[in-house]
């Protein structure tokens, strides 16, 4: 047990901002990444003066987060394309769970006044079988309707051609084109193979297959951008005069200098009103997540080369959109005083909406316990992204309405997970720190107060999370050990998690009341 005491809410104000870190330098330049935290597989479009970006969200609900921006640098949440997943009871944690399923490799388009989001859903953890979905709405805020296809179009990139025909480029290593019906709610004909070759990086030292397609028609040419080589990979481009090929290929970005050895790879490009092109692209930063970078595009011999000679120099002049935007980042902190849950939050699976409330106790989110063996199987775990390079989340928790069997607290969710919680048994509440299912420390064996404050700090270099608790909201005590954040759920970053579950049936409906969540980053 640690003996030292940290007085934190005052000590760290000078070194931590009250919001996530912004990439806008305030002098007409920005520095990558433009979004910290996990925003994988980004795709981007422009509609009028506004840019919209969609991201993958795997099993988290709601799914397919959509952001908006006026300058490609400063972003805020707009909505989600998927309210919940109803195609399998395991999304409700009935008969199992479906971690890692949900939405993969989302693509966004705008056509005839409507927004469309496309994504694939694998069966299990593989890439061989699954289904494909299209969601449509009059605006990113919704309401969205979803059509599920029986076909599995893996990592879909969608093109609406000049003549109105719709195509999906999809696949891994072997790339295919499948035409969609005019309403984009069914396929039209069989898929056609357009690429079955491996590709090399710029110095021909590594080869790989392509996936994560995005497709464009520019000046009569068809362009398909794809990552290759996985986490340490690079960005490819194919081009042809026909959607069905033949295609030639070129490496358009091969750089890991901003976070070695992980390369920038997978994303989409967009044209400004002035004709300039920019590319949104991700970089894997391990358990912190796949962050988003923004690179200018320079057309060289008809190829869209990214950054400076295919490299990310990190800091650039902001895109010339004809206006100045104030620094903006997606919301993090929440006082839970709004009638609806903030867009920064996602549940670990479909929520049981009878088990949580923002209205039962004004100014709090109440989580009512449901029976679970541990945090992995618990419903209504409320999450949001951890963020680099260093982040800190703090909650105030009222445990006066817990019942025997309840485990309520705050921590980090992934596999492995760790948290600080209040457990109640035989009418006694105790404070515990749990790391990957094992109780590491019990700093308070008989908690008399109704409130506890819990803090978690994360870093992006050694991928550790450290835990503290307080009984007065001012003096914080380190507790337990470090969590070495992992990726037991591949390609899915670690998250802050608020929860309340019960290890006994008697504890059902015991309530944990969270007064607020506050985030700081350096």
Distance CA 441, CA 479 (A): 7
Q: Is residue 242 classed exposed, middle or buried when 0-12, 13-18 and 19+ CB atoms within 10 A define those classes?
A: exposed
Q: What is the pLDDT of residues 89-99, one digit of tens each?
A: 999 999 999 99
Q: What is the pLDDT of residue 127?
A: 67
Q: What is the pLDDT of residue 18?
A: 46
Q: Residue 72 gets which letter from DSSP?
A: S
Neighbours of 189 (CB within 10 A): 10
Cis preceding linkage at 389, omega within 30: yes
Enumerate helices (H) and strands (E) in the chain, giving the number of each.
1, 41
- Per-residue pLDDT tens listing for the chain (522 residues): 333 333 333 333 333 344 678 999 999 999 999 999 999 999 999 999 999 999 999 999 999 999 999 999 999 999 999 999 999 999 999 999 999 999 999 999 999 999 999 999 998 766 678 999 999 999 999 999 999 999 999 999 999 999 999 999 999 999 999 999 999 999 999 999 999 999 999 999 999 999 999 999 999 999 999 999 999 999 999 999 999 999 999 999 999 999 999 999 999 999 999 999 999 999 999 999 999 999 999 999 999 999 998 999 999 999 999 998 999 999 999 999 999 999 999 999 999 999 999 999 999 999 999 999 999 999 999 999 999 899 999 999 999 999 999 999 999 999 999 999 999 999 999 999 999 999 999 999 999 999 999 999 999 889 999 999 999 999 999 999 999 999 999 999 999 999 999 999 999 999 999 999 999 997
Bridge partners of residue 420, in order along the sequence: 410, 433
Evaluate whether 210 touches 252 at the Cβ level (below 8 Å).
no
Q: What is the pLDDT of residue 61?
A: 98
- The catalytic site residues sit at 41, 211
Distance CA 294, CA 165 (A): 30
Phi-psi region of 337 (alpha: psi -120 to 50; beta: other; left: phi over 0): alpha
Distance CA 266, CA 157 (A): 11
Q: Residue 62 gets which letter from DSSP?
A: S
**Residue whose token pair is 């895109």:** 319
The tokens describing 391, both together, are 């982040």
Q: What is the pLDDT of residue 30?
A: 97
CB-facing half-sphere around the CA of 292: CA atoms within 13 A: 30
Percent helix, strand and coil across the chain, each to the nearest 5 = 5, 50, 45
Q: What is the pLDDT of residue 6?
A: 33
Q: Give the strand pairing for 214-218 and 221-228.
A: antiparallel
Phi and psi at 55, nearest 5°, equal: -140, 160
Evaluate whether 40 touches 211 at the Cβ level (below 8 Å).
no
- By C-alpha distance, which of 390, 380, 391, 396 is closest to 334? 396
DSSP track, 479-507:
-S--EE---SSTT---EEEEEEEESSGGG
Evaluate whether 399 touches 500 at the Cβ level (below 8 Å).
no
The tokens describing 210, both together, are 């392509």
- By C-alpha distance, which of 45, 50, 52 is closest to 70? 50
Q: What is the pLDDT of residue 7?
A: 31
SS3 annotation, 299-362 = EECCEEEECECCECCCEEECCCCCCCCCCCCCCCCECCCCCCCCCCCEECCCCCHHHEECCCCC
Distance CA 72, CA 51 (A): 7
Contacts of 110 (CB under 8 A, 6+ apart): 45, 47, 52, 116
Contacts of 76 (CB under 8 A, 6+ apart): 67, 68, 69, 328, 329, 330, 331
Evaluate whether 20 touches 387 at the Cβ level (below 8 Å).
yes
The tokens describing 204, both together, are 């021909």
DSSP track, 452-468:
EEEEEEEESSS-EEEEE
Domains of the chain, CATH where assigned: 22-317 (2.115.10.20), 346-521 (2.60.120.200)
Phi and psi at 245, nearest 5°, equal: 90, -175
pTM of the predicted model, to two decimals? 0.94
Segment (H or E) for 279: strand 277-284
Distance CA 123, CA 150 (A): 12
Q: What is the pLDDT of residue 20?
A: 78
Evaluate whether 8 touches 484 at the Cβ level (below 8 Å).
no
Task: Label residues 148-183 b or e (16+ Cβ within 10 Å = b).
Answer: ebeebbbbbbbbbeeeeebbbbbbeebbbbbbbeee
């Amino acid at each position: 047990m640690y003996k030292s005491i940290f007085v934190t809410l005052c000590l760290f104000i000078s070194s931590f901002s009250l919001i996530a870190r912004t990439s806008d330098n305030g002098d007409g330049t920005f520095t990558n990444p433009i979004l910290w935290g996990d925003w994988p597989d980004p795709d981007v479009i422009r509609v009028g003066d506004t840019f919209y970006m969609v991201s993958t969200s795997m099993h988290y609900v709601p799914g397919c987060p959509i952001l908006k921006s006026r300058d490609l640098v400063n972003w805020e949440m707009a909505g989600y394309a998927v309210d919940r997943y109803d195609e399998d009871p395991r999304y409700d944690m009935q008969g199992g769970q479906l971690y890692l399923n949900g939405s993969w490799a989302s693509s966004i388009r705008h056509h005839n006044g409507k927004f469309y989001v496309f994504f694939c859903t694998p069966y299990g953890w593989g890439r061989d079988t699954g289904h494909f979905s299209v969601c449509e709405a009059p605006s990113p805020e919704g309401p969205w309707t979803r059509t599920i296809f029986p076909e599995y179009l893996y990592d879909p990139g969608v093109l609406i051609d000049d003549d109105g025909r719709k195509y999906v480029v999809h696949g891994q290593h072997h790339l295919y084109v499948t035409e969609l019906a005019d309403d984009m709610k069914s396929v039209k004909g069989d898929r056609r193979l357009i690429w079955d070759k491996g590709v090399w990086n710029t110095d021909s030292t590594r080869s790989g297959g392509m996936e994560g397609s995005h497709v464009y028609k520019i000046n009569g040419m068809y362009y398909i951008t794809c990552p290759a080589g996985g986490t340490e990979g690079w960005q490819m481009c194919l081009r042809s005069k026909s959607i069905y090929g033949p295609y030639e290929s070129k490496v358009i970005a091969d750089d890991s200098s901003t976070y070695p050895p992980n390369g920038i790879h997978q994303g989409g490009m967009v044209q400004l009103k002035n004709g300039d092109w920019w590319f949104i692209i991700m970089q894997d930063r391990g358990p912190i997540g796949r962050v988003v970078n923004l690179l200018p595009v320079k057309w060289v011999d008809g190829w869209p080369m990214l950054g400076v000679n295919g490299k990310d120099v990190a800091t650039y002049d902001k895109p010339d959109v004809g206006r100045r935007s104030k620094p903006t980042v997606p919301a993090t902190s929440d006082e839970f005083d709004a009638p609806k849950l903030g867009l920064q939050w996602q549940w670990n699976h479909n929520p049981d909406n009878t088990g949580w409330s923002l209205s039962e106790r004004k100014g709090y989110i109440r989580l009512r316990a449901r029976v679970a063996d541990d945090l992995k199987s618990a419903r209504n775990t409320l999450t949001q992204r951890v963020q680099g390079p260093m982040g800190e989340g703090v909650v105030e928790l009222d445990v006066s309405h817990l019942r025997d069997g309840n485990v309520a607290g705050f921590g980090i969710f992934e596999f492995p997970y760790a948290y600080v919680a209040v457990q109640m048994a035989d009418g006694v509440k105790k404070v515990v720190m749990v790391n990957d299912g094992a109780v590491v420390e019990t700093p308070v064996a008989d908690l008399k107060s109704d409130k506890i404050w819990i803090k978690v700090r994360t870093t992006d270099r050694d991928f550790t999370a450290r835990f503290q608790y307080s009984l007065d909201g001012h003096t914080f005590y380190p507790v337990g050990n470090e969590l070495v954040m992992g990726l037991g759920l591949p390609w899915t970053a670690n998250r802050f998690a608020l929860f309340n579950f019960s290890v006994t049936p008697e504890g059902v409906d015991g309530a944990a009341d969270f007064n607020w969540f506050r985030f700081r980053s350096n």
